[in-house]
Amino acid sequence: MQTPEQIKDRILAAFPDAQVEVIPNGSPASQPSLLLAPTQARQIAKFLRDDPALRFDYASNATGVDWPEKTVKEKVKRKKVVDGVENETEELVERKTPAFLEAVYHLYSMALGRGPLVIRLRTANRADNAALPSLTPIWRSCEFQEREIFDLFGIFFQGHPDLRRILMWDNFVDHPMRKDYVPADAAEVLP
């Protein structure tokens, strides 16, 4: 069973300048994921599918996740010089987490009976630069799923053969699964 770290090493051996990062997973399921840079994603995906030791020929699930900007308060230890004496103080620092949309793919190998390998692609932001390379030319199973991510999240997949809305009607504006989506008729039914 190859761990994501071993797979990352294998990818780096084939593409030395690739940016691959292992993202840990806090749950007991322990399925850590590989974060790939969008520019090299399609080459690496093809390598994952065709390499004889990996043979990830089956993309089971492709999904989108919305990560809006969040303000996180953290305690940071800082060394401060007060009256000539160096003190270590704890300060409450606010920082904003980056806002992006993410496409997560779960890959399995039917030939070798392995998996899952989780790969993630992140967009630059949630506004004007929400484009990612489509992995449909590599795994055809992503065809409808990437259309759904485009429809519900707004990630534009470059290279997708037929990118249009799939679940919402064609003239619909907005992306329902985003965290800041407000439905047109927001009145909830209360008895």
How many CB atoms within 10 Å of residue 108? 18
Identify residues 66-85 at the interface with other proteins (CB under 8 A).
Answer: 66
Among 13, 16, 17, 26, binds other proteins (CB under 8 A): 26
Cα(176)–Cα(141) distance, integer angstroms: 23
Token pair belonging to 115: 């998996």
* Cα–Cα distance, 54 to 108 (Å, whole number): 10
Q: Which two tokens stand for residue 116?
A: 């899952």
| Nearer Cβ to other proteins (18/143) | 143
- For residue 134, give the DSSP letter: -
Does 123 interact with other proteins (rule: CB under 8 A)? no
Which of residues 2, 40, 43, 61 is near other proteins by CB under 8 A? 61
Site string for other proteins, 33-52 (x = CB under 8 A): --------------------
Phi, psi of 147 (to 5 degrees): -65, -40
Minimum separation from the CB atom of position 144 to other proteins (A) = 6
The tokens describing 39, both together, are 């520019």
Member of 47, 100, 139, 150 binding other proteins (CB under 8 A):
139
156 C-beta neighbours (distance < 10 Å), count: 15
Angle, alpha carbons 136-151-72 (nearest 5°): 100
Binding mask 91-110 for other proteins (x = CB under 8 A): -------------x-x---x
**Which residues here bind other proteins, judged by CB under 8 A?**
25-29, 31, 57-61, 63, 65-66, 104, 106, 110, 113, 116, 118, 139-145, 165-169, 176-177, 181, 188-191
